[in-house]
Amino acid sequence: MVSRDGRVANAWHEHSETKRVPEGVWMRCEGCHATLVRKQVEQNLGVCPDCQHHFPLSAMDRIAHLLDADTFEEWFAVLQPLDPLGFNDRRAYPERVKDEQARTGLFEAAVVGQGFIKGIRIVVGITDSNFIMGSMGSVVGEKLTRAIEEATQQHLPLVIVSGSGGGARMHEGIFSLMQMAKVSTALGRYHAARGLYLSVLTHPTMGGVAASFASLGDFILAEPKALIGFAGPRVIEQTVRVQLPPGFQTSEFLCEHGFIDRIVHRRDLRSTITQLIDYAMP
């Protein structure tokens, strides 16, 4: 029964408000479709505790998981893209970049710098799919090129973690495509100087990134079930009009066919990279 002044109804309403679960507590696993507690997934390095599905991570989360605590020094942080084409789809390109910067806290889709992994100093680069799908524009290419050149000059191991589903960034046209050659040329000089480059492929690694620096590692590692390739499976299937093999363009398929050296669970990535550096650079 509800009192005339509505006090009982108000009390029930207030009680129901206190029982409401805060937004963002739960998340759905893309692998097994289970409902998971977000905090538990984050504590598990962004991996589903049930099916081991690897969720995409931001650049800063990857740095925190990969490097020794408080050792990362970011380089070239404030480089920002121009708008050479005056590109405008639904929004002007400069406006889109500003929105992405505000949303992600990044200036661009790549973060580079130096840090330590189990006491070993390395140069590291990360591309972040949260920022315009991690697409490679002029600033991403410039950051990676400068980082590679620093690794060459300082004779340091180089680790690049690729998470770029957008390939070359269409907003910058040919200026974006030029970055494939520029970064690859820098890697060529690095190899000539006998540097060690470990490329880590994550979901997704596609387009011009997969067709350039991501495929040029001395060791190519990949996370489980990552989508890796130039064009997506649907585009290829529609173009060549054939049924593709099961698991086509997954890291498991590519490892079986020799494109990838090893598939590494995220919890083992630090130790695997350290072992490879110790093996190749005694």
Which whole-number Å values give the CA distances from 141 to 126, 172, 175, 222, in the listed order? 12, 12, 10, 21
pTM: 0.88
Are 232 and 206 within 8 A, CB to CB? yes
DSSP states along 194-238: T--EEEEE-S-EEHHHHTTGGG--SEEEE-TT-BEESS-HHHHHH
What's the pLDDT score for residue 193? 97
C-alpha to C-alpha distances, 79 to 69, 109, 111, 140, 142, nearest whole angstrom: 25, 11, 11, 9, 9
| Structure tokens that stand for 196 in this block | 């060690």
Helix, strand, coil share of the chain (percent; to 5): 40, 20, 40
What local confidence, expressed as pLDDT, does residue 282 receive?
A: 66
pLDDT for 90 equals 84
What does the alpha-carbon distance between residue 68 and residue 117 come to, in Å, rounded to a whole number? 5
Domain boundaries, the chain: 1-52, 56-280
- Name 112's bridge partners: 75, 125
Task: Give per-10-residue mean pLDDT for the chain (282 aa).
Answer: 49 51 83 92 93 94 96 96 90 94 95 97 96 95 98 98 89 94 98 98 94 96 95 83 86 95 97 96 74
Per-residue confidence (pLDDT) for residue 12, from 0 to 100: 46
Which pLDDT belongs to residue 236?
Answer: 85
What pLDDT is recorded for position 86? 93
What pLDDT is stored for residue 1 in this prediction?
A: 44
H/E run at residue 117? strand 110-117
The predicted pLDDT at position 242 comes to: 82
Q: What is the pLDDT of residue 19?
A: 55
Q: Which fold has domain 56-280?
A: 2-enoyl-CoA Hydratase; Chain A, domain 1 (3.90.226)
136 contacts 169 by C-beta, under 8 angstroms: yes
The tokens describing 7, both together, are 């006090």
